[in-house]
């Protein structure tokens, strides 16, 4: 029994380490479980195999009750986690869907418990009362070990975080500008500033929504990466704030392109999530994807037009530098030494005449 407890501690400790290794606060528990479903499954199988080998070598009697309850408990959770992973490929993260999946998880655990009792009752001729008592005892032991290992891993992660915290403290602090003063320096009135801030708040919400929605389907993720649209919209937002008096130059981005893009991406994801699709549905999805791609191109063009003056200035500087370099090369390659001397003396004569 001590060996069983030791193996369970090691197995659950490894599983919990894999869970806490995914330290993304935005991910729910069921999503974390789905990411380690394969690891959980293989760990449970490894525990079972090691247990069988050790019991066989030691000559002890093989206890099918404990073995079956243990392997069905662990692998049952693994199977549920694997199903979660398949479901998550179909639907993405609304609150209602998360609640349904959480209920599905709890209901699956309960059914797993009943299935274990039923199988052992029929196949092993054990009374239901004794079997329930034994099963509950094992489940309580598993739960206690799970909690203990979770606490141990959490403490280890916290301690490691404390050791790493001085490095984070040495980072350069971010200094925020007084935007109100910045707007006033641009000549904006208080009412204009208030209106501008409200509009930019809406733009920010649209960008955050776009960033979230672009990760929900493979097609949208591919388009977002191809055009780097999230980074461009964030930079566009920053540039508009820096040049708030030029908001009219970005009105198509603010009032048309960005809201339309977010709306189309959400509708695309919603239709893509439908289980049953016909030819018309796929046609609508294709047309929607083309419209979304065109909106991304329009946003990039709008961003480029917003910086057209800077681009033209840069082109002028590059062209001027190229001409200057060409002139210098011409001075030292095409001019003869005699012409250079004549120019020098002519310049001196002009200076003497002026004197």
- Rounded CA-CA distance 133/143 in Å is 15
pLDDT at residue number 51: 60
pTM for the complete prediction?
Answer: 0.42
pLDDT per residue over 68-93, tens digit each?
Answer: 555 556 666 555 555 555 555 555 55
Please count the other Cβ atoms lying within 10 Å of the Cβ belonging to residue 66. Answer: 16
Look at residue 209 in the predicted model and tell me its pLDDT: 93
- Quote the number of domains for the chain: 3
Domain assignment present for residue 74? The answer is yes
- Verify that 262 and 154 share a domain, yes or no: no
The domain of 158 spans 2-169
pLDDT at site 188? 84
Are residues 6 and 136 both part of a single domain?
yes
What angle do the packed helices 95-124 and 64-88 form, to 10 degrees?
160
In this structure, the answer to whether residues 79 and 114 fall within a common structural domain is yes
Phi, psi of 217 (to 5 degrees): -135, 155
Whether residue 55 is found in the same domain as residue 87: yes
Would 214 be classed as within a structural domain?
Answer: yes
Examine the domain organization and report whether 239 and 347 are in the same domain: no
8-state DSSP, 248: G
In a domain, 334, yes or no: yes
What residues of the chain score a pLDDT lower than 50? 1-2, 5, 16, 19-38, 61, 146, 150, 163-176, 330-341, 343-345, 347-349, 351-353, 355
| Same-domain status, 122 and 232 | no
Asked whether residue 219 falls in the same domain as residue 342, the answer is no
Looking at the structure, tell me whether residues 15 and 72 fall in a common domain: yes
- From the number of C-beta atoms within 10 Å of its C-beta (0-12, 13-18, 19+), residue 77 rates as buried
Query: For position 334, what pLDDT does the model report?
Result: 46
Here the tokens at position 42 are 């293989």
Domain co-membership, 31 together with 66? yes
Model pLDDT for residues 99-152, shown as the tens digit of each residue = 565 565 556 556 655 655 565 555 555 555 565 555 555 555 555 554 555 455
Question: Count of CB atoms within 10 A of residue 328's CB?
Answer: 10
Q: Are residues 8 and 156 in the same domain?
A: yes
Q: Please report, for residues 138, 170, 217, 265, 349, the alpha-carbon distance to residue 15 in angstroms, rounded to integers and kept in the order given.
A: 18, 33, 29, 36, 92
């Amino acid at each position: 029994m001590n060996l069983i407890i030791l193996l369970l501690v090691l197995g659950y400790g490894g599983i919990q380490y894999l869970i806490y290794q995914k330290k993304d606060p935005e991910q729910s528990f069921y999503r974390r479980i789905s990411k380690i479903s394969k690891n959980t499954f293989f760990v449970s199988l490894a525990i079972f195999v090691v247990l069988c080998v050790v019991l066989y070598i030691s000559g002890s009697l093989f206890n099918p009750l404990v073995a079956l309850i243990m392997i069905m408990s662990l692998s049952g959770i693994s199977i549920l986690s694997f199903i979660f992973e398949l479901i998550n490929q179909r639907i993405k993260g609304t609150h209602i869907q998360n609640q349904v999946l959480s209920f599905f998880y709890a209901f699956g655990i309960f059914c797993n418990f009943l299935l274990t009792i039923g199988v052992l009752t029929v196949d092993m001729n054990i009374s239901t009362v004794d079997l329930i008592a034994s099963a509950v005892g094992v489940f309580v032991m598993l739960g206690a070990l799970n909690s203990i290992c979770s606490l141990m891993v959490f403490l280890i992660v916290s301690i490691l975080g404390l050791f790493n915290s001085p490095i984070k403290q040495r980072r350069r602090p971010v200094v925020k500008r007084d935007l109100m003063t910045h707007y006033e320096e641009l000549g904006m009135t208080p009412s204009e500033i208030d209106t501008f801030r409200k509009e930019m708040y809406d733009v920010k919400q649209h960008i955050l929504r776009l960033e979230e929605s672009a990760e929900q389907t493979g097609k949208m993720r591919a388009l977002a990466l191809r055009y780097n649209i999230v980074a461009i919209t964030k930079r566009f937002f920053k540039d508009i704030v820096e040049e708030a008096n030029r908001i009219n130059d970005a009105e198509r981005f603010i009032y048309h392109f960005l809201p339309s893009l977010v709306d189309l991406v959400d509708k695309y994801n919603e239709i893509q999530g439908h289980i049953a699709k016909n030819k018309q549905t796929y046609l609508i999805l294709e047309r929607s994807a083309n419209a979304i791609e065109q909106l991304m191109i329009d946003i990039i063009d709008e961003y480029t037009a917003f910086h057209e003056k800077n681009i033209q200035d840069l082109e002028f500087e590059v062209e001027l530098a190229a001409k200057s370099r060409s002139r210098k090369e011409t001075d030292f390659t095409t001019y003869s030494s005699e012409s250079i001397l004549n120019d020098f003396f002519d310049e001196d004569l002009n200076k003497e005449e002026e004197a």
